[in-house]
Amino acid sequence: MNVTKVRSSTNTYKVYIGEGLLEDLKSYLPKKYTSIMIVTDSMAGSYYLDKAKKGLAGEKVVATTIPAGEKSKSIQTFYNLHTDALNYGLDRQSLILALGGGVVGDLAGFVAATYMRGIDFIQVPTTILAHDSSVGGKVAINHEQGKNMIGSFYPPINVVYDVSTLFTLERKEIRSGYAEIAKEALIADRIFFQSLMEIDLFDLSNDQLASQIGRGVEIKASIVEADERESGVRKHLNFGHTLGHALESMLGYGEWTHGELVAIGMLFALRVSEDVFGTTLPYTQLHSWLRKNDYPLNLPDFEVQQIIEKMKIDKKTIGRSIQMVLLRDVGAPVTVQVDDNDMVRYLKSFMNDLKKI
Ligand SMILES: NC(=O)c1ccc[n+]([C@@H]2O[C@H](COP(=O)([O-])OP(=O)(O)OC[C@H]3O[C@@H](n4cnc5c(N)ncnc54)[C@H](O)[C@@H]3O)[C@@H](O)[C@H]2O)c1
Ligand SMILES: O=C(O)C(=O)C[C@@H](O)[C@H](O)[C@H](O)COP(=O)(O)O
Ligand SMILES: [Zn+2]
């Protein structure tokens, strides 16, 4: 088992990564709770809820299941979970346990952050992408107008990542998770990035998967420890997200996965970086790898001005000015303000390039 410690302003928590951890889930709880409410979704729950309950044998456990998918990161589901917590009689000594991917983790974490002004929660991620979402304490729900617009920084008390859950993931979810791993590599580790570009996502060994997730978690943990509240370097974890989040919201949440759109956002950010810094970056290499692994790159036609308006609804925006995370080089990210006129030009040229290949 691999254990990474993450220091936050309110607590230090551990990220346990290993196989079969669900079977002994209880041993990762730091104390006795009056009750535990497991929040899961219809897909993750169908595979792993019974296992998680068994791993908590002897505890007072209740469970609530939300519909699978990004649309559940909504104010309505958030409210329903508060109602469930009240109906189940959760008190300030209760625990919320998020069993699922980033949707469950972000949503249940935000419920924990707000229920009775905050109760403990534990992340039990079951997707590859959730190596990113379960670490760092960003919890949120979406607003119709923008991603993660309603939320908080609220660290978990621990993260228990049973990687044996990952073998039931659908292909598009493997792709989605690996887009965030590629992001971590691009902003922090050139050698890691090159090694990723050699893998076939649908022919991964257990060891490859565990070590690549482990490296992703290391990178994420070191950045969030340095800048928990995103006043500086944490913005780099948003590489690819300025466009990615805009597209997610324009496409209506859930038709495309988060990672698929972050992947397109990263290609765009590489193109803009090349222009801004007059350099050559691995755009073509990333593009070929995305194609080889069947990432969808066929965006519908959007008005460039509409995309720009959406990009402005971003937490990095200052005034009305778009801030993008760019790369001076692989492993050398920097946040840069991009002028609207330049953005029109960049987007038009990028959308044309995407159509050509
Ligand atoms: N808080 C953060 O720092 C952070 C970081 C990255 C992404 N996010 C958020 O995470 C969300 C995306 O997370 P996600 O990609 O995990 O999506 P998700 O939670 O919707 O999971 C993807 C799909 O996989 C299913 N699933 C989950 N575990 C499974 C398993 N083991 N086997 C089979 N199917 C399984 C789910 O039911 C769902 O249908 C987005 O909302 C994104 O904004 C947050
Ligand atoms: O942890 C972070 O910081 C990130 O930016 C990680 C991103 O992968 C993630 O999608 C995050 O939820 C985006 O945050 P937001 O503040 O742009 O909503
Ligand atoms: Zn992300």
pLDDT tens track for 137-186: 999 999 999 999 999 999 999 999 999 999 999 999 999 999 999 999 99
Question: What separation in angstroms does the CA of 181 have from each of 39, 45, 54, 210, 216?
Answer: 25, 25, 31, 12, 6
CATH superfamily of 171-356: Dehydroquinate synthase-like - alpha domain (1.20.1090.10)
For residue 19, pLDDT over 90 is answered with yes
Tell me the ligand closest to 39's alpha carbon: 1
pLDDT at 357: 65
Mutation to probe ligand 2, out of 132, 229, 261, 314 (largest number of atoms < 8 A from CB): 132
The residue contributing the CA closest to ligand 1 atom 5 is 133
Ligand 2 cavity residues, CB under 6 Å: 132, 136, 138, 147-148, 180, 230, 234, 237-238, 241, 315
Q: Average the pLDDT over 197-216 and give the result.
A: 94
- Share of residues in the chain with pLDDT > 70 (%): 100
How far, in Å, CA of 69 to CA of 31, rounded?
32
Domain edges within the chain: 2-168, 171-356
Report CA(241)–ligand 2 centroid distance (Å): 8
DSSP secondary structure string for all residues of 66-104: EPSSGGGSSHHHHHHHHHHHHHTT--TT-EEEEEESHHH
pLDDT at 227: 98
Contact in structure between 68 and 48 (CB atoms under 8 Å): no
pLDDT at 355: 85
For residue 350, pLDDT over 90 is answered with yes
Binding-site residue ranges for NAD(+): 102-106, 126-127, 138, 147, 165-168
Q: What pTM does this model have?
A: 0.98
**Residues 64-89 pLDDT 10s:** 999 999 999 999 999 999 999 999 99
For residue 28, pLDDT over 70 is answered with yes
Among all chains, which residue has been given the structure tokens 């007072």? Answer: 60
Report CA(93)–ligand 3 centroid distance (Å): 31
Alpha carbons within 13 A on the beta-carbon side of 151: 24
CATH dotted code for 2-168: 3.40.50.1970
For residue 212, pLDDT over 90 is answered with yes
Among all chains, which residue has been given the structure tokens 């949503």? Answer: 107
